[in-house]
Every structure is written in structure tokens, then in C-alpha cells.
Structure 1
Amino acid sequence: MVSRALPKRPARVGPAAAPEALAARIFLLAYDPAKGRLTGRSKLGKTLRAAALIDLQLRGNLADDNGRAQVTKAKPPTDEILAGILTEIGTTGSRKWRTWIDRRQRAIVRDVRDDLARAQLIRVEPHRILGLIPADRITIRQPLVRRQLLQRTTDVLRPSRLVTRIDLRDAALAVLASTADLRVVIPKELRTRHKDRLAQLTVRVGPVVPALKKSFQSSSSG
């Protein structure tokens, strides 16, 4: 069995390396340091799947084919989570983006968590809720990494920055956090104030975020 590979060229943020994968970055951003726990757990799986799909699209491994995810001939990623999703899509065939968002949600949360633990960015400790229910206690080992990721994510909302000049990976984090209602990243008042800007950024990021929004709407209505 091939072990999951960490990114070979991680972006340097502070004294430690921030994870390159968007899903890993969203996981860190979803952690609330004040409360000492992950937030938005009910939506986290879908959000991480959407982040991975955006990653694959930005890397050139996936293209949009009339609302469907289409595998390209680009070199597959070395990251095992991304490679696994790409293989899944290639094996099953072209489907709507939402189909891939809705699949294997628990698995991606576990896989991203384990990658971050191996990279020593988080600590995962087993414990029992009320002494009975098994659970994992997660803590951030590199708080500065998260703080600087948060700064980069919220910085895209500054009106002085041209929407067309914003890095698409940073834009993706902002619109994913907004769509998933991760208020620890983008508070409600900030989301309301920059509603139009977030809509413009969503258009730039591509078709995955609207599909994620539809998935959330379907879950809440069901």
C-alpha cells in the first residue's frame, strides 16, 4: 500500500510549512482556537471534497464539461487524496460536480486529518465524551500557520485589491468558507458586507462552489 504523499513544495508560512492542498488549508481554517475545536463539522466533509475538486481543476487535472467534471490528460498529482479522487472520477466517468462533492465525505475528513497530523500541524488525541462516546480531540500545533492562512483568506476581501489579480487559491478558500458558513473564517457581517465581491470571486473560482451551495441547499431542504 502506497503511503499518502505530502506536498513536495509546500508554501512557507512563518516557522512551519503550510499545507499546499486546499482541503488541508480549509481543515485548519475550520478550527476555532478560542473554542479549541473544529467548527462546521456537519458541512466539513462536503467542503473538503469541494476544495479537493477545485485543487484538481486549478492543477489542470479536471476540466468543466457543461457542468460535469472531466478528467484531462495532465500529469496526475502526487498527493494521494487528490490522486484518489481523480482515479475515482476517471473510473466512474463524467458526472456533475455535485456528485463528487457528495461522495465519501467522512473519508476525506479522516484522510485530511491524518495528513495534517503526520505533518505535525495538528495533534489528534482519542478521548470519550461523557466518558462513553469515543471521539478525537484535535489541537493546532502550529497556530501561526493558521493565523497567516486566515490573513491571506480574508485579505482577498479588501476593496483595494482587484478581483482579477487575486490568487485563485486564496479566492477559493474565501468562497468555500463563505459558502460553508465557516464564521470562524468569515463572520456573517463580513460575508454580508462583501457579498458582491464574494460573488465575483466565486465566478473566478469556477463551477465547484455553486455545486457545493446546491448540495448544502438540498441537504437542508431534505
Structure 2
Amino acid sequence: MAVPGSLPQRVFLLALDPDKGRARIGTNLGAMLRAAALAELYVTGHLTDDGGRVVIKIRHSCHDPVLEALLEEIAGSRPRTWQSWVDTRQNAAISAVRLQLSYGGWVRLEPHRVLGLFPVTRVFLRDPGVRKELLARVSAALKTPVGRVDPADAALVAVVAAGNLGLALDRRTRRAEKRRIRDLTHLSGPIAPALHSSIRDAALGGEAA
């Protein structure tokens, strides 16, 4: 089975713990999915940066409902920072991308109740080879000359690195490949720094609470 076409779907599959049927506790999944959607719209030329704020560069259909919905949000709003767009509607992003993956046949959704009380949805891969292919793309992007890395793969590395997604890039690899990750992040524009700031601010907010 081919890997899904959109960056948010690819990030979701990389964040999924195949044994547990969910992302691990502490995974910044919603923030990463919002950042992934912004990154894809940026590398495909739909969005650009104007003094640290997101502006639409090209307004035409991107043939993906999650990406299209984000474009509509941006088009209907005053200019806002990249981090502001990462911060918003994270739970909605998780639900929307999960449904996309289910409709596309990449995952099977299984309703479940924790302790018999709290409803959750488990997500199981239909073809583990798809996730292995995505991990291989991350690994290849760290070895291939930067100028030959597909922009989508560069953005994928930038998002999972900024999101501290250990299932895709463990801490040792992030340290060893710090310079390469920085170069790939540069190709992906201002999204990864915005994701990093969003996660940092959310953690600080949680500590303050």
C-alpha cells in the first residue's frame, strides 16, 4: 500500500504506536498535525511569510479537505503568526486526519472505553509496511544531499524533529544529526520554530496551572 499523500497523515502514522493503537502519552500530536498542514501549504506555495505572519500566496484548491479547511480559516481571519495557527483547533485536526486515514484504508478505528467508562478511539495500522516506508524516508532525508531531498520529506523531518517525536527520530539521532535537521528545517520555512514555541508555551502553561 502506498503512503498517504498529505503531510499531516504521514505525521499521524509516524506518531502512532502500533502496539498501543494510539500516540504515546505526551506526544504533541495536535500541534504537529497543525504544523504539518501549514508546512505542506508553505512548501506547495499556497502560503508565505510576511513579517512573521501567515499570508495566502496562491488561493486555489489543494484537493485535500484538511488542508483546504485550514486555507479557509486563514483566508477568513486577520493576519496571524505561524504559532497562532499551530495553537488552534488541535483536537479537530486529530479527528479530521484520523478519519482521512480511515476512509483511505490506512488504519482501522476501534471504539474503546478506558476503565469501562471513558470513550476513546484506538487506531490500528492495516499495513505496517506503510509506517516502515515513512521511517525510511525520514532516515534517507538525513543522509541524502540536502539539495536532492524532496521538500515534503524535508518538511516531515522538520516537523517530527521540532515535535520531539521519538518514535520517528530518537534523541540520539536528533543530537547526532542536529546540523542536517537544521538545514532541512530551513527548507520548510518558519513552521518548525513555530511548532517548537507552541509546545514550549503549552508546557509552561501546564506547569503554571
**Is the shorter-chain TM-score for this pair beyond 0.5, marking a shared fold?**
yes
1:120 paired to 2:105: yes
Q: Is the 8 A contact 1:39 1:182 kept in 2?
A: no
How far the C-alpha of 1:163 sits from its partner, in A, is 1.5
1:187 paired to 2:170: yes
For 1:209, the equivalent position in structure 2 comes to 192
1:119/1:35 CA distance change after superposition, 3 Å = same
Q: Is the 8 A contact 1:61 1:76 kept in 2?
A: no
Taking the aligned partners of 1:178 and 1:73, their CA distance within structure 2 comes to: 28
For 1:80, the equivalent position in structure 2 comes to 65
3-state SS in 2 of match to 1:18: coil
CA displacement, residues 132-176 of structure 1 (integer Å, 9 cap, x when unaligned): 111111110011111111101121112xx2112211110111121
RMSD, matched Cα: 1.4
Identify the match of residue 151 of structure 2 among 168, 178, 181. Answer: 168
3-state SS in 1 of match to 2:28: helix
For 1:64, the equivalent position in structure 2 comes to 49
3-state SS in 2 of match to 1:29: helix
Correspondence 1:17-166 to 2 at 5 A = 17-39=2-24, 42-158=27-143, 161-166=144-149
1:42/1:162 CA distance change after superposition, 3 Å = closer
Taking the aligned partners of 2:177 and 2:138, their CA distance within structure 1 comes to: 13
Q: Name stretches of at least 5 consecutive residues in structure 1 with no aligned partner.
A: 1-15
Amino acid at match of 2:181: L
CA displacement, residues 64-98 of structure 1 (integer Å, 9 cap, x when unaligned): 11111101234221211111110110110321111
3-state SS in 1 of match to 2:198: helix
Identity %: 40
Q: Is the 8 A contact 1:50 1:208 kept in 2?
A: yes
Provide TM-score, normalisation by structure 1: 0.88
How far the C-alpha of 1:36 sits from its partner, in A, is 4.2
Q: Flag as ranges the 4+ runs of structure 1 deviating above 4 A.
A: none
Amino acid at match of 1:82: L
Greater relative CO (CA pairs within 8 A, separation 6+): 2
For 1:7, the equivalent position in structure 2 comes to none
Q: Is the 8 A contact 2:15 2:167 kept in 1?
A: yes
Provide TM-score, normalisation by structure 2: 0.93
